[in-house]
Structure 1
Amino acid sequence: MKKIIAILLGVSLLWACDPMEDTYQKLDDAKQPYKDVITYTLVSADYTNASNLALKDAKTYDDSTLAKAIKTQLAFNERFAGKDYIPDILTKNFPALSKGSSANIQYDVQYNTPANLLDLYSNNIISEQEYKDSVWKSSTLFVKSFTPSTIGRMPQVLLKKFEGASTNAYRLVEYNYSEVEPVIDVAEFKYFDDNFETHTCATSAPYTPIGENGWTQKDTVAGSVKGIYYCRKYNNNQYAQITSNNTGEKNDVFLITKEIDLTDANSPILTFDVNVGYWNATCLKVLISSNYSGNLDEIGNAAWTDLTSNFTLPETPTSGYGTLQNAGQANLSGFKGQKVRIAFLYEGDSRSTTSPKITTTYQIDNVKVSESKTSYVLSEENIKKYWKVYKFNGTSWAAAENKYVAIQADDYALMGKTYITSSESDAYIIPFLKLKYPFALEGDAKVVSFRSESNQTKALAFEYKYSNGNWTKNSYRETRNDQFLNDGTKWFYDPTVYFTPVSADYQLLVDWVYQNLDRSYGSSYGNDEFYYGASAYYSNWDLRLSKRTQYNIPGFDTGTESEKIALTWQRLEEGAAKLLSLKFPDAVSEISGFPVYYWIYLKVYQNDLKTVTYVGVFQLQSGEFKRVKTAEDAAVSQGKLTQDQVNWNRGN
């Protein structure tokens, strides 16, 4: 029957949208339903039909979005599963198939990105204030770094930083660390320092407006929008630049720092560098306020003190640009004990009615508020930047399990990158993983976190799995091959159960051995047993003979080594059957006359110290789980399993 369908399929493609139309027309005419085993891959029309069916089941707006996504993504999803809609597709596409027929269906499923990855979509930087308040607990005797004496405070820092985080939340944290402790000395103490080097800075139009590291700006002239402080770059140096040239507007543009805390200051000094281009008028003022709220709409409500007279601003007509140079300094002692903001006010005018034009270009760099005072001193060369993923257990933060990896400064340097975009991720992260984990084992997984933009707080995280000697990204899209069965009245999802034990499952068997065999068959930790070999700690089966001897397991006191190894495999099969009975106490042997098989994936630590994952196919027979090797062989012949996966405890 398969051969007939294949021939007719090729011919019918020339005339019909439905490749089976002619075949089913003949079968319907003959009124001869038939039994068959078919293999079919869903096509676009099938996903469209399923999408329409899912829309009828949708109860919310989000449901409707996911139902429509089946059609657009050509994939089912976690809300609308293939097993619920493929039976209708089979009924429509194969109406002549009758009782006893089975269909192996290939289709795609798109999963949601896990919350643990979404948690890592930002780079959380330990701030200077946090080094003061939480790490060193002093606003003067501190350095912007952890050291051996303070690194233990990280959990407390994160508790405060991520207050309200949910249990099992993950965070990527960027912090500084020095192996050397600081010393007390008189040094420059910086309350604010920005040379614009960390700002996003386009090197050609359109240029990037200054707006990072707490800077804000606004033109307070109604309707004026072209007067903007941009980040510009020349001779590998970045700075802020503004001009009214060609704006055709009157511009009163405030460029304002973030809040600067002078609570513990004595004699703070404001300094900056300045340069002018095409000077035709003095357009720049330097202002300070201690009551500006930070709301750009309230600039006019704040009291601003003019500091301009403290500085020397170039006033020489030029036909080009001068050079950046120190503008002088302003003593801010009058503002000690307060929190302030510095503003650079540019007042230009290039309207057609203005003569002469006021369009001098100003470049501002190295803005700093500082003073000399007794403080901790630590050489910059001793401070290294690190990234680490932390996990919250509900009460405290700790380094996440070793599955989570963060790209470090040295790694970026080797890559010749400072960040990695999403589209570049495979090209850089796969070689990184190969280098870092040269002895990776089949099935290993790593979640790799990395900076994803020049913006310091942007990050991404992708999961990579090691399979067949290669690392591949988990796209959370899976192609599945599921079997559906026909009971004469309807199609239904093959009830085969696929079971990969996790730690809690292994513990079920460990506890059973302790209670029903002997507590001495496992270690004092209470998370392993060596009668069958279940380890809840490692989530695997340990078949080492040394452990059988160590814990006096029956059956291993006599015989050759090969006989003992054979016994460990026999016990593995017995243990797998026992674990299935504990995990699935309500198991059944068949549904609608079809056998129910249980596939158990067995991660085995062998006596030769190799870790290999096998598969066993079991069925409940007379109240007990029995291994069905004929079902394993059938799965191999169908390409669902490999011979290596089932080649265990078979007497060879």
Structure 2
Amino acid sequence: MKKLLILIGVVGLLSAVGCNPMDDIYDEIDTSLKVEGTVDYTLTDDDYSSLDLSHSNFSSIDEAKALIPALLKKKYPAFTANSLAKVTFNIYDPISIKEYTVTDSDYNEAGLSTDYVTEISDIQDILKFKYPQAKEGDYVKLTYNAIATPIQDTLTNDDYDLIGTELASQYSDAASSAAYNNDFDKRTGKSSYWTDDMIAEAILVVLNDRIDDASEGELYAVTYDTFNDNYEHVFQTMTFRYDGNEFSKFNSTPDGEYYQYTQSDYSLVATELADEYPTAASNLADHGNFYRKYTDNSSYWTDEMLIDAASVVLNEHFPDAADGKVFEIEFDTYGASNTETLTLVKNGNSYEPATSISITEETNVFAYTNGTWNEPLTLEKQDYYDMGLNYPDFDNMDDAAYKIGIFLNKKYPYAEPGDMVAVAFDYYSGGLRTRYANFIFEDGAFQYIPAVKEKSLQFGYDGSTWVPDNTIQYTFTTADYNFVAVELKDVYPDAASNLLSFGNFNRTGGSTSWNDEMMLDAINVVLDNLDPGAEVGQKYQVSYTIYAGGYSIETKSVIKAEDGTWVYN
């Protein structure tokens, strides 16, 4: 009973002296015990708070490297030099979208033959060239030149009213008719008749009135209603280009120098192409025109054959034509019509179909997933409703992650483990904007990759402070001992023979012993085989069994030197 009372008194006294006297006792014990240790540690919420962080995560790897050493020194005061700590922590790592504008030289250096892109593979080549070290889930907002795709537009009733007002003084009857009937009168001989040039002028009035954000090179294909001599409404389309200052009518093919085949040209083609197209060439020689009636007839001239024929004729008559020279060539045919026309452009020793293209600057976001660059999957308006949402956007990220995951499971039922999908979706938070998220297929379903991720770093204690350390701990296996013995048998025959016999390194100092220099050679043999691609600066702590009057484990620290060898660290 007396002993129990004394113990209670001691506890009470300790409680009265300080907030937590056991901490002092623990620290005293820790500092009196010095050890070379290895530890795995995961930061807690209290740890982040003790580092004066407002959230339980770091904002970058650099911040983690800067703050964690002080925490380790406080937690492990007894650790000595060469101690290691593998620390697991949270890091805020949201999707970061790099921005890049393709330069003129990039197109050529990426292997393109033009200074603009024509298909997705061109964009992939450029991004592969610019970002050879891209990682899964990386994003780039790329600005580049591309062939403009016409934006489809249709004149409305209000547009016809505007035309009627703006062109009333120039084309009184025609303008009044357009405003009243909401079409362009194409009936021959009528005072309200609209020529194609007048229609182009009218459409320019509309485009200049309601489009104020066009980009240079952008095309607009405008559809309009006409009323013809047969009293029918026929919709037609005219294309316009914006040059950076104003709109103008855009031709689908460039104007070229006109040339019409002569009878001698048909004979020339029949002779020059007799070996390549014998039946068709023979028919041409007999009739003096190109057979174009039935495609399954052996005398039929395909479009490609007609281009070959035109190249023969143009090279004959215009041998000095420069590359890029455009010709509009007319020839006789037998088939649906009596004549046809080709617009061709000179390219080297031959000609090819000529079409006008407009180059415009485009900007789009691309994501690197599954080893290639593509635009993220963009949710359509109906997709949101199919997910049970009242509006075509999300306003809660947890909800988005959950529902998009289910959406992807249905869209890609045959996904394989590791498949990644980048998704673009509308998100409302004080305003509507596009957000991006990455999903990976794991455990049978698509999982959202959150912005806060778990990372691990290794730190080493150098005797005074903890520093980020890439040291890998490795223990020799039976195969390693045998491998060293075989690889070094010609260099150290006695020692290698002993190693092969006993499976450990003799360190007694005798004729079969391994000194430190020989041990470094052995470590080089093992690590070069184990990690041939190790970078300069990579560290290893290598452990192996030795015999020095008894068996024990010896550990050496090495580092990859700039000359590619492993040296003692």
Asked whether the two chains share a fold, i.e. TM above 0.5, the reply is no
Which protein is bigger by CA-based radius of gyration?
2
Report the TM-score range of the alignment, normalised by the length of the smaller protein: 0.3 to 0.5
User: Structure 2 length as normaliser, TM-score?
Assistant: 0.37
Task: Indicate the structure with greater helix content.
Answer: 2
User: Structure 1 length as normaliser, TM-score?
Assistant: 0.32
